[in-house]
Amino acid sequence: MDEECQNCPALCETRTQVVHGYGDVGADFLFVGERPSAESDEAGVPFVGLEANKGETESVSGGVRRILERLGLCDATSPPSEPSLINVYLTNLTRCRDPERPPADQEITNCEPYLEAEIRMINPEIIVPVGKRALAEIAAEYTRTPAEELDLKESHGERIRGRGFELVPMIAPSEQTDEQTQAWVEAFAELLATDYRQTKGRQGR
């Protein structure tokens, strides 16, 4: 992973650092967001724990961490900038941040080799696209279902068959109702209780 990547000149001007993936490299569960939050840009770790009521940043950090803690996949006593993850790896579609706008399509394309390398390295059982953009990109690349046929609200917490693994989409926590948060946690807890590894067709990768 290139720590001095220059593939997106505009983002090189606005980022603090390149934010590659973080967590258990042997994890069964891979969470993919859209881009680093402001705090992730400072810390160099995706989904760094932010406090609530901070707008867009909540969707890529504090909310996800609290969900992982509820599921027993993150040690609640670990520091926000260095979460102790259990069987989880965190990453984003893009590695750098512009504070004023979401990533352009070309910037996501430029980062695809990094994401592909992480997926090959980790070989996850379950991918969790966090947010609409992540679902569209992951579905287009790694499932046989056209992205336009996937509605995030309808697929929130549902298991979608992918090429070699399953997807469990998540509405960005900042956009979830309390009921949607509870529904996703319950659905994922049910998944954890199953022998989900038996459903994986690795030959399809």
Instruction: Return the pLDDT at 128.
Output: 97
pLDDT digits (tens, 9 = 90+) for 122-168: 999 999 999 999 999 999 888 877 777 889 999 999 999 887 789 99
Quote the CA–CA distance of 150 and 146 in Å, as a whole number: 7
Does 204 reside within a domain? no
What does the angle CA 183 – CA 22 – CA 57 come to, to the nearest 5 degrees? 55
Structural domain range at position 18 = 9-194
Q: For 180-197, what is each residue's pLDDT tens digit?
A: 999 999 999 999 999 888
In a domain, 39, yes or no: yes
Where residue 53 falls (left for φ over 0; alpha for ψ -120 to 50; beta otherwise) is left
Number of structural domains in the chain: 1
What's the CA angle centered on 142, arms 124 and 126, to 5 degrees? Answer: 25
Are the CB atoms for 35 and 103 separated by under 8 Å?
Answer: yes
Distance from C-alpha of 10 to C-alpha of 191, rounded to nearest angstrom: 41
**Does residue 118 sit within a domain?**
yes
- 199 belongs to a structural domain: no
Continuous segment of H or E residues that includes residue 22 = strand 22-23
Classify residue 60 by burial, with Cβ atoms within 10 Å: 0-12, 13-18, 19+. buried
Measure the CA–CA gap between 120 and 155, rounded to whole angstroms: 25
Q: Is 142 part of a structural domain of the chain?
A: yes
Assign residue 166 the CATH number of its domain: 3.40.470.10
Reported as type and span, the H/E element at residue 188 is helix 178-192
Q: How far is Cα 171 from Cα 20, in angstroms, rounded to an integer?
A: 22
Residue 102: pLDDT band by 50, 70, 90 thresholds? very high
Structure confidence at residue 55 (pLDDT): 42
Q: Is residue 205 part of a domain?
A: no
How many C-beta atoms lie closer than 10 Å to residue 74's C-beta?
Answer: 23
**90 pairs with which residues across the strands?**
22, 31
The whole-angstrom separation of Cα 178 and Cα 66 is 13
The pLDDT of 194-203, averaged and rounded, is 63
Percent of the chain with pLDDT over 90: 69
> Would you say 94 and 103 are in contact if contact means Cβ atoms under 8 Å apart?
yes
Instruction: Flag whether 201 is in a domain.
Output: no
Q: How many residues does the chain have?
A: 205
Residues β-bridged to residue 127: 30, 167
165 within some domain: yes
